[in-house]
């Protein structure tokens, strides 16, 4: 279904088009999302999104921060999804990688940035997140 140029989803109760840009960082902004931790993080984000009927539109993992573009059912909630992603992605990689566990007592800061994409074209936001890797930020 399309509404005002956006693709819409439905959960049976409501029709929605809720796309969020989320950014979060490891504690102390340490550059620990390397050596395969970045690949594992991407897989966990996709697993959690799939399990919660959310969609990952775009994901970019930098050594010291993560950009996500997510479509989320508003009845499920973006906060709940981010909490699940951060919880699972902190626990599993730290269990699998002793070097990561030794660097940080917990992986993520409690803070994160989130904004609805609103009227901004998704292609523009996707291009921005993709360019984060190229710009070295």
pLDDT on residue 90:
86
User: Residue 44 sits in which domain range?
Assistant: 18-135
Does 6 fall in a domain? no
Q: Which of 4-8, 43-47, 66-70, 121-125 has the lowest mean pLDDT?
A: 4-8
Residue 20 bears catalytic tag: no
R_g of the chain computed on alpha carbons: 15
Does 107 fall in a domain? yes
pLDDT on residue 1:
42
Catalytic residue among 3, 28, 112, 128: 128
pTM of the model: 0.79
Give pLDDT tens digits for 22-37.
999 999 898 989 888 8
Residue 24 in contact with residue 113, Cβ under 8 Å? yes
Residue 73 in contact with residue 18, Cβ under 8 Å? yes
pLDDT band for position 9 (cuts 50, 70, 90): confident
Does 105 fall in a domain? yes
β-partners of residue 115 are: 21
Looking at the structure of the chain, the number of domains it has is 1
Does 4 fall in a domain? no
Does 1 fall in a domain? no
Give pLDDT tens digits for 69-118.
999 999 999 999 999 999 999 877 667 777 666 666 788 999 999 999 87
Does 5 fall in a domain? no
**Residue, of 41 and 119, whose pLDDT is higher:** 41
Does 35 fall in a domain? yes
Does 3 fall in a domain? no
pLDDT band for position 123 (cuts 50, 70, 90): confident
CATH of the domain at 75: 3.30.70.1290
């Amino acid at each position: 279904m399309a509404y005002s140029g956006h693709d819409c989803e439905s959960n049976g109760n409501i029709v929605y088009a809720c796309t969020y840009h989320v950014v979060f960082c490891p504690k102390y902004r340490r550059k620990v999302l390397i050596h395969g931790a970045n690949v594992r993080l991407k897989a966990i984000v996709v697993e959690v999104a799939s399990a919660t009927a959310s969609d990952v539109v775009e994901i970019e993992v930098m050594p010291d921060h993560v950009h996500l573009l997510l479509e989320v059912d508003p009845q499920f909630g973006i906060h709940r999804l981010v909490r699940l992603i951060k919880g699972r992605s902190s626990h599993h990689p730290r269990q699998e990688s002793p070097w990561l566990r030794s660097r940080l007592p917990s992986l993520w800061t409690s803070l994160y940035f989130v904004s609805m994409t609103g009227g901004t074209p998704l292609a523009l936001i996707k291009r921005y997140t993709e360019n984060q890797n190229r710009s070295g930020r």
